[in-house]
């Protein structure tokens, strides 16, 4: 009897415990599904994480989303904008980091808010004391968008517009990046690491700065470091480019002349194509001709010279160089490519 009573008591206790315990949550679909979009501007990564409610035949603006109240700019948890480096959002400086994105809709201009609190549930716990930026934008009408969506519109080297689209409205958030400053700081940081042991790293950093026309004194120091580590065509030409950008055309020309004495066939070929891409066609032709004189057994020098002559519009001379290349080339893929080019020059 005691054994029976004990079993009954144990069973009752287990049943009571099971009734009070909370089961682990199951992973089920959300009605407003999560989404994430990213865009790189220069070396700055922008990411928006959000949830996408649907219109579902409802009146959205002024009803489902009331005017004059802080709105989460999505559904569920905070809509979050993450910047990997400093930016200007809506004309205001915003440091790198993650920000809760909120909006105050209105019949006219809207207020956009970036909050330093990015882990809250919606806008229910929004506190103006956490504002990192607040600015106004003017929405515009757009084609119907059933599910709320964000997109990065018209990206350039230093700017992009983050666009909220829902129902028949588009809300623009202008974002600007000082890409040269961000890249320069990134280069300084990287050159203090493993890349700082290689001349190529200093040459690449100096060349980028020279081509952008920024931080030229620093670029010259990087170029000097590259030359001191390896005096070759690339390092000397890079320093020549920096000097030219600084206004020292004579010094740049002298270094370029020295650089050419160190150039390999591949160096000259790359140099010629860079000139060609920059629109300096005659200079490119001179470089390719020089390469052909120096390396007459290479089919590739005639192939490159033919291309430059074709760009100039001298079809007869281009054909002659391509035919020389065709007579020397051995791999089938390049043979077919050159034959196709020759057919097009007829």
Q: What is the pLDDT of residues 92-150, one digit of tens each?
A: 999 999 999 999 999 999 999 999 999 988 889 999 999 999 999 999 999 999 999 99
pLDDT tens figures, 230-255? 999 999 999 999 999 999 999 999 99
Strand partners, 150: 164
DSSP string, 11-78: HHHHHHHHHHSPPPPP----SSEEEEEEEEETTEEEEEEEEE-B-TT--TBTTTB-TTS-B-SSSSS-
Q: Give percent of the chain with pLDDT exceeding 90.
A: 87
Q: Give 257's pLDDT tier (boundaries 50, 70, 90).
A: very high
Check whether 17 has a pLDDT greater than 80: no
Check whether 343 has a pLDDT greater than 80: yes
Phi/psi of residue 207, nearest 5 degrees: -65, -40
Selected residue with higher pLDDT from 32 and 117? 117
Q: Give percent of the chain with pLDDT exceeding 70.
A: 94
Instruction: Kindly state the average pLDDT of the residues 55-59.
Output: 95
What pLDDT does residue 346 have? Answer: 79
Chain mean pLDDT for the chain: 92
Check whether 272 has a pLDDT greater than 70: yes
Residues 6+ apart with CB under 8 A from 259: 232, 233, 234, 236, 237, 240
Instruction: Kindly state the average pLDDT of the residues 203-224.
Output: 95
Check whether 11 has a pLDDT greater than 60: no
CATH number corresponding to 180-344 = 1.25.40.10
Measure Cα distances from 40 to 159, 175, 180, 213 in Å: 10, 12, 14, 22
Selected residue with higher pLDDT from 122 and 72? 72
CA–CA distance, 251 with 230 (Å, rounded to integer): 19
pLDDT tens figures, 155-210? 999 999 999 999 999 999 999 999 999 999 999 999 999 999 999 999 999 999 99
**Whose CA is closest to 96, among 129, 140, 47?**
47
Q: Give 5's pLDDT tier (boundaries 50, 70, 90).
A: very low
Q: Give 4's pLDDT tier (boundaries 50, 70, 90).
A: very low
DSSP string, 4-19: HHHHHHHHHHHHHHHH
Check whether 28 has a pLDDT greater than 80: no
Helix H or strand E segment including 271: helix 265-277
CA–CA distance, 319 with 345 (Å, rounded to integer): 7
Spans of all domains in the chain: 33-177, 180-344
Count CB neighbours of 219 within 10 A: 29
């Amino acid at each position: 009897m005691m054994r029976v009573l004990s079993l009954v008591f144990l069973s009752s206790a287990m049943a009571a415990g099971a009734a009070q315990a909370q089961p682990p949550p199951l992973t089920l679909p959300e009605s407003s599904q999560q989404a994430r979009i990213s865009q790189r501007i220069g070396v700055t990564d922008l990411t928006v994480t959000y949830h996408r409610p649907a219109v579902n035949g409802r009146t959205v603006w002024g009803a489902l989303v009331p005017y004059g109240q802080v709105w989460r700019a999505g559904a569920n948890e905070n809509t979050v904008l993450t910047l990997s480096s400093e930016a200007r959002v809506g004309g205001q400086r915003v440091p790198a980091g993650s920000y809760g994105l909120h909006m105050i809709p209105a019949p006219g201009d809207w207020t956009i808010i970036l909050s330093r609190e990015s882990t809250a549930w919606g806008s229910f716990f929004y506190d103006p004391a956490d504002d990192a930026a607040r600015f106004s934008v003017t929405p515009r009408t757009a084609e119907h968008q059933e599910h709320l969506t964000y997109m990065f519109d018209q990206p350039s080297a230093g700017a992009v517009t983050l666009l909220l689209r829902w129902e028949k409205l588009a809300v623009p958030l202008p974002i600007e990046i000082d890409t040269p400053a961000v890249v320069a700081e990134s280069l300084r940081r990287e050159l203090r690491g493993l890349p700082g042991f290689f001349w190529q790293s200093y040459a690449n950093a100096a060349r980028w700065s020279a081509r952008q026309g920024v931080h030229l004194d620093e670029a010259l120091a990087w170029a000097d470091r590259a030359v001191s580590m390896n005096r070759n065509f690339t390092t000397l030409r890079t320093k020549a480019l920096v000097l030219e950008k600084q206004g020292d055309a004579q010094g740049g020309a002298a270094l370029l002349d020295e650089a050419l004495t160190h150039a390999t066939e591949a160096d000259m070929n790359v140099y010629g194509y860079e000139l060609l891409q920059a629109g300096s066609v005659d200079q490119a032709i001179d470089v390719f001709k020089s390469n052909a004189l120096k390396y007459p057994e290479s089919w590739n020098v005639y192939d490159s010279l033919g291309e430059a002559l074709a760009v100039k519009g001298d079809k007869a001379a281009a054909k002659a160089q391509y035919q020389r290349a065709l007579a020397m080339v051995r791999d089938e893929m390049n043979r077919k490519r050159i034959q196709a080019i020759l057919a097009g020059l007829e």
